Amino acid sequence: MDSFHYISSETLSIEKISDIISEDKKLALSEEVIQKINTCREYLNEKLRGQDKPIYGINTGFGSLYNIKITKENLTKLQENLVMSHACGMGEHVTSDIVKVMLLLKIQSLSYGHSGVQLETVERLIAFYNNNILPVVYTQGSLGASGDLAPLAHLALPLLGKGTVLYHDEFCESKDILKLFNWSPIKLQSKEGLALLNGTQFMSAYGTCLLIKSYKLSYLADLIGSISLDAFDGRIEPFNELVHLVRPHSGQLKTAERVREFLDGSELIKQEKEHVQDPYSFRCMPQVHGATKDTLEFVNKTITTEINSVTDNPNIFSQDDEIISGGNFHGQPLALALDYLKIAMAELGNISERRIFQLVSGLRKLPTFLVDNPGLNSGFMIPQYTAASIVSANKQLASPASVDSIVSSNGQEDHVSMGANAATQAYDLINNIERILSIELFNAAQAIAFRSPIKSSDFIESFLAVYRNEVAFVSNDRELYIDLENSLNFLQNLTIDNTELY
């Protein structure tokens, strides 16, 4: 029996979305939401019947064409033209998981009863979601200001029987899918096109999916860093809680606690050391990894607020008899948060690469480049090059998109957030972090094998035993790209309980 998530006034959290996705829940509208949607639509219909006053986007043109009045008989055509004309995306296809979250967040935003949409329109979006009918959306085209106009236009096109969708891993014409399900195209009423296109669901969906992944990578950075620390014959003293209680940043305390837990019972960490201190990339993991954790909490707060908001325009307040044209579609809060996320996650890659470098440097009685017969074997020399190249690319991706603005719509939209660019940059950057950590794990697993028969903790030993089923110890040079791909796949397929992540 399918499990359902009911769209309601309950706050939608990042953890909740993670559960909805992982458990593949279907969506349904609560009775409360159905009433809100219907009440708002009925109010708007009555408002348009009773007066001819121009209301932006409802019976006027859009953007710099806001002064052009549209006759009542053309209101449906106005909304359909809006969707078709704004579907101007280019670039790569947005991944299916992000498109599905875009649908979820658009449904959520329309559910508050301030957008003026028909119930039928929202129910069709839910039908797309529940049947995995995913509109083809493109990565390029949004300025992140009047909402994510181009991406959301592509998200809305299939409602009209236009555009392309992905269904059962095949690209299909939307009109053919409507026929398959015996659905008629939605006839958009006044305001509906604008409600569908104005909004921040492209940026928000990217932010939501990337935040879920970032929490996992933050956990893995702590775990893999702990393996590297043990393999490097590092010291545990810098992780003593007393050190962090006198500088009690939340993320710093959490990182130190995790490292202590991961290394609890390790013979390696307990053995007498010949050195007094470790390099910063090991010793300062709580301070560096912890600062990233604190950033994730800030980004979480921003995105959680956004996904529980109404971000189209104008906003309809039926109880107050007000229709107000504002600017909730402007993506500046998300643009800044996504740029901050990029910087914070890039640092996990920076410090990881430094640990990789230390492990291959022939220090602490580890063989140079972590292989027997160095010289004849190059061993792990070049994976560090690969990590360094990815880190450098991330430094470019981490440059903030939100500091830029280009005037559009003939000067009416004279400041834009560029948050959509921040989102797609964050996507590339965070996938790069996963690659860097997979290289560090490859190195750390190899290094710790040279410490045998002295053992790490039971937790780490069991984790590495599972890893060794996918990536074998390197005795002599071989095609390492295969090992790197297997190491990456191992991390991607690793499931971690949400209680460990948040």
Q: What is the domain partition of the chain in residue ranges?
A: 4-199, 206-310+322-501
Q: In Å, what is the CA distance from 124 to each residue of 8, 117, 120?
A: 17, 12, 6
Residues 6+ apart with CB under 8 A from 497: none
Residues 255/286, Cβ–Cβ less than 8 Å: yes
**Which pair of tokens denotes residue 427?**
């996507």
DSSP count for the chain of H helices, then E strands: 20, 9
* Element of type H or E holding 397: helix 381-397
Q: Is 215 a catalytic residue?
A: no
Buried b (16+ CB within 10 A) or exposed e, 2-12: eeebebeeeeb
- Sign of the torsion formed by the C-alpha atoms of 304, 305, 306 and 308: positive
The CATH number for 206-310+322-501, chosen from 3.40.720.10, 1.20.200.10, 2.40.50.1020, 3.90.550.10, is 1.20.200.10
Q: Which residue has the tokens 């579907």?
A: 87
Among 43, 56, 215, 467, which one carries the catalytic annotation? 56
Is 73 a residue whose pLDDT tops 80?
no
**Which pair of tokens denotes residue 128?**
């797309």
Strands 315-317 and 170-173, by their bridges, are unpaired
Instruction: Kindly report the average pLDDT of the chain as a whole number.
Output: 94
Q: Which amino acid is it at 277?
A: Q
Spatial distance between the Cα atoms of 272 and 336, rounded to a whole number of angstroms: 47
pLDDT of res. 146: 85
Q: Could you read off the pLDDT of 245-274 as tens digits, one per residue? A: 999 999 999 999 999 999 999 999 999 999
Q: What's the CATH fold of domain 4-199?
A: Fumarase C; Chain B, domain 1 (1.10.275)
Residues 6+ apart with CB under 8 A from 367: 374, 379, 450
Q: Could you read off the pLDDT of 154-205 as tens digits, one per residue? A: 999 999 999 999 999 999 999 999 999 999 999 999 899 999 999 999 999 9
Asked whether the bond before 453 is cis by omega within 30 degrees of 0, the reply is: yes
Q: Could you read off the pLDDT of 392-449 as tens digits, one per residue? A: 999 999 999 999 999 988 888 889 999 999 999 999 999 999 999 999 999 999 999 9
Q: Do domains 4-199 and 206-310+322-501 have the same CATH topology?
A: no
**386 in helix, strand or coil?**
helix
